[in-house]
Amino acid sequence: MQYYSMQTSWSAGAPGGYEVEERDVEFLRHDTGALLARMYVPLGEGPFPAVLSVHGGAWTSGDRFNNEPANRALAGTGAVVMSVDFRMPPVAGYPEPVADVHLAIRWLRAHAERYRIDPARIGGIGFSSGGHQLTLAVLRPEDDRYARLPLEPRTPGGSPQARLAFLILCYAVLDPVTRWQMVQAEHRQKLIDSHVAYWGDEATMTEGNPMRILASGEAATLPPALVIQGVVDNNLTPDMADRFGAAYREAGGAAEVLRYEDAPHGFLTRDVSTPAAVTAMERIVRFTHEARSH
């Protein structure tokens, strides 16, 4: 267990200055081993909003520590953050990792009282490919493939549905088919290999494409969404965030898309002190503390 004090530099009126307890918990166990989450818990009476944090890594790499600067900064404003590991290739490909994320949402909801969480203010933040997997779990909260993993028997309560009050997507792969076409055209072998390892083929990629789900009317839930995108991100097509925001609104949801100059892919992961990251985190903090399920 670790403790630290996080002083924030957000705009006037934003919460901040909480001392935070940091520890790992096992939230799920497969035959291949345990999955851990790093919990960032503000020290105070609460109730606090909570955020499930899902890391990126082109679906094939990374862990719960990937976004430590952003997770710690958010927790320091008075939000519980649960940053999760999930299975990845070669251990498991789609849809298994989405099932892990789906269960993590339910686990966080089931443990709201333990961590002094306001159950009406539980949301999610996903980075890059993690944003894609979080979005799938939220758009399809009752999908049998995603919802099939049971909560640990001793877990109190727990809904079978992965419903969130809000969704924050940071440079997320929200159209994997378009990204697949882009990396093929640019001969980016590492990303090509990652797509193949996770998806297997383009037909599966199309089935798990949030853009297709929105266009088809299949999306079961559409919580308010905040989409964060860097202008100089060469890992995604330039229009992906804007197209997703438009499709989300067309489907009946509320989506705010914010673009940041001079911000590359992963800019919040690397350093939260850059001008783009500070401005983006200000908005993420306000969104987290204002959003509430109805």
The 10s digit of each residue's pLDDT in 56-94 is 999 999 999 999 999 999 999 999 999 999 999 999 999
Residue 269: its pLDDT value, please?
85
Coil vs helix vs strand at 31: coil
Residue 231: its pLDDT value, please?
97
Residue 291: its pLDDT value, please?
86
| 154 HSE (CA, 13 A, CB side) | 3
Taking the C-alpha atoms of residue 264 and residue 242, their distance in angstroms, rounded to an integer, is: 16
Residue 138 backbone phi and psi in degrees, to 5: -80, -40
The answer to pTM > 0.75 is yes
Asked whether the beta carbons of 287 and 167 are under 8 A apart, the reply is no
For the chain, list the domains and their CATH numbers.
2-290 (3.40.50.1820)
Residue segments in the chain with a per-residue pLDDT below the cut of 70: 1-16, 153-161, 293-294
For the stretch 15-55, pLDDT in tens is: 568 999 999 999 999 999 999 999 999 999 989 999 999 99
Q: Whole-angstrom distance between the N-terminal and C-terminal Cα of the chain?
A: 35
